[in-house]
Amino acid sequence: MIKNSRRLLRHLALDFLSLKGEISTGVHLLNGHYIGINNLPDSIFANLLSQIKKKAQLINFDEATNMIANGKIPEKERLVAFTFDDGFEECFLKIRPVLNAEGIKAGFFVNTGFIDGNKDYKKKFLQTKVRLSTTKEPMTWEQIITLRAEGHIIGAHTIDHDRLVGKDFDKLYHQIVGCKKRIEEKLETSCEYFAYPYGQLADIESMGRKIASQHFLYNFTQTNSKDYYSFKDYPFINRRHFEGNWKFNHVKYFLKRNLLQ
Ligand SMILES: [Zn+2]
């Protein structure tokens, strides 16, 4: 009940806050997980993209990453790229067809334990790691290989969707590098993108950041920071949260803040 009231208040606040203003110039990385918690049609996500397209240009995730990493942010253009975490099956069955129809490539950050897990593992993963009350299946390796062959980016999101805190090197290394190695083994190509689970600044500590920085070219958060990067010791590129069934105005609210202060 409290959760629902909070959600409603947030909804109303976003309705109000998103009335004015346009998408700000620069590169925006959006990160979602699915079209909705429940089983929703892909037309909802297609509609959202068509609305964003009226105000901004949709670009490939790797191009957006390169612009940020090389400090070549366009001054006048409004560019939006997409990533999706956790590797749910609907990424392939519903999100992929919409992206492919638009001709844009996204990034998909997967948990190899979820893909490889048995029925009990998957149930526990949904309940305790990504905290979903509905059933969602992971993508299969065949589907992930197809995404990669089509030009989408496959990134690592740890084996078991663990928070990367503390100083247990072996555990952190296993989660971060073990995931990378498993993806590389299945895709037969190097995996250079990493997004840590939960994505808030407190969900990864210095040792986790160090290991990720040593093994991946590009590392990502999911925070609402106004800057392109978080963390001074080992910089991570920021992504903004959205989901495929969000109202355009709510997504716009997160795209209209000036990213470079
Ligand atoms: Zn996740």
Cα 161 to ligand 1 centre (Å): 6
- Average of pLDDT values for 66-81? 95
Question: What is the pTM assigned to this prediction?
Answer: 0.92
- Average of pLDDT values for 71-98? 96
229-230/236-237 β-pairing: antiparallel
Residues 98, 123, 144: CA angle, nearest 5 degrees: 35
Cα 20 to ligand 1 centre (Å): 31
Cα 29 to ligand 1 centre (Å): 16
Token readout for 124 is: 């526990």
Give pLDDT, residue 254: 79
| Topology annotation, domain 25-255 | TIM Barrel (3.20.20)
Token readout for 179 is: 């995931």
| Per-residue pLDDT reduced to its tens digit, 183-205 | 999 999 999 999 999 999 999 99
| Per-residue pLDDT reduced to its tens digit, 104-139 | 999 999 999 999 999 999 999 999 999 988 889 999
Give pLDDT, residue 3: 63
Give pLDDT, residue 225: 82
